[in-house]
């Protein structure tokens, strides 16, 4: 779910409160004007008085305020629960990814690497991958970069594609790569996951 800060939540509730109050006052004004046009006021007994109508509006307004406060409390509870679940899922993801045999690289929508597990750092022979551009790590004109770019731009999924990765020591290492988009519930692409493993029969021949 999209992240909502406490200040944004408070602003939304306050806005809803103001709009509801205006609606109540507007309905009251329209009702009073309609009574005047039909001469309905002359047919009614002297009561209720203006004080009674004012008390009715005040009671209705207080009821709306109470309902909105209850809704705000429920939303705050849901927000805290969602944040707790997200933190727990993140910790679980970190534990699982460290134990994976496959290399896992998470790439942001802007193209920077935000996470790489130990297997990925070992396969790519780079100790620090975070905050680096994927084009810098994999080479801007490589097959793997083309797959990542297509994933970030259009959500294209690539599975078990054979690619040649040029290691920092100058050797070419054949890899099997899968690229999967990270999307929200609104189908907005927020990044990509790249899964890497050694290609069967890898001999790591020198590059030219």
- Write down which residue in 96, 112, 127 finishes a domain: 96
Cα distance between residue 96 and residue 84, in whole Å: 18
pLDDT at res. 49: 55
pLDDT at res. 26: 62
What are the φ/ψ torsions at residue 165 (nearest 5 degrees)?
-105, 130
155 and 109 within one domain: yes
pLDDT at res. 135: 95
pLDDT at res. 103: 92
Q: What is the pLDDT along the chain (208 residues), one digit of tens a residue?
A: 445 555 555 555 556 556 565 666 665 666 666 566 555 445 455 555 556 667 777 777 777 777 777 777 787 877 777 767 766 665 665 666 666 788 999 999 999 999 999 999 999 999 888 889 999 999 989 999 999 999 999 999 999 999 999 999 989 999 999 999 988 777 789 999 999 999 886 544 433 3
pLDDT at res. 187: 77
77 and 22 within one domain: yes
What are the φ/ψ torsions at residue 194 (nearest 5 degrees)?
-115, 120
Q: Within a domain: residue 172?
A: yes
Range(s) of the domain holding residue 12: 6-96
pLDDT at res. 61: 72
140 and 63 within one domain: no
114 and 145 within one domain: yes
pLDDT at res. 207: 39
92 and 25 within one domain: yes
Using the 8-state DSSP alphabet, how is residue 199 labeled?
Answer: P
- Residue 183 makes CB contacts below 8 A (sequence gap 6+) with 155, 189, 190
């Amino acid at each position: 779910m999209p992240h909502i800060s406490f200040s944004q939540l408070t602003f939304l509730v306050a806005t809803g409160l103001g709009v509801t109050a205006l609606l109540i006052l507007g309905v009251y004004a329209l009702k009073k004007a309609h009574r005047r046009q039909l001469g309905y006021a002359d047919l009614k007994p002297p009561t209720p008085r203006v004080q009674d109508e004012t008390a009715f509006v005040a009671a209705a307004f207080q009821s709306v305020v109470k309902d909105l406060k209850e809704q705000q409390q429920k939303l705050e509870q849901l927000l805290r629960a969602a944040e707790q679940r997200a933190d727990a899922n993140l910790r679980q993801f970190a534990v699982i990814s460290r134990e994976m045999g496959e290399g896992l690289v998470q790439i942001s929508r802007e193209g920077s690497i935000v996470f790489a597990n130990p297997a990925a750092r070992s396969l790519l022979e780079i100790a620090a991958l975070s905050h680096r551009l994927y084009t810098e790590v994999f080479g801007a004109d490589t097959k793997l970069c083309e797959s990542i770019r297509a994933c970030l731009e259009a959500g294209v999924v690539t599975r078990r594609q054979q690619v040649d990765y040029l290691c920092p020591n100058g050797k070419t290492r054949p890899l099997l790569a899968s690229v999967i988009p990270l999307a929200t519930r609104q189908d907005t692409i927020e990044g990509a996951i790249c899964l890497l493993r050694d290609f069967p029969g890898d001999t790591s021949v020198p590059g030219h």
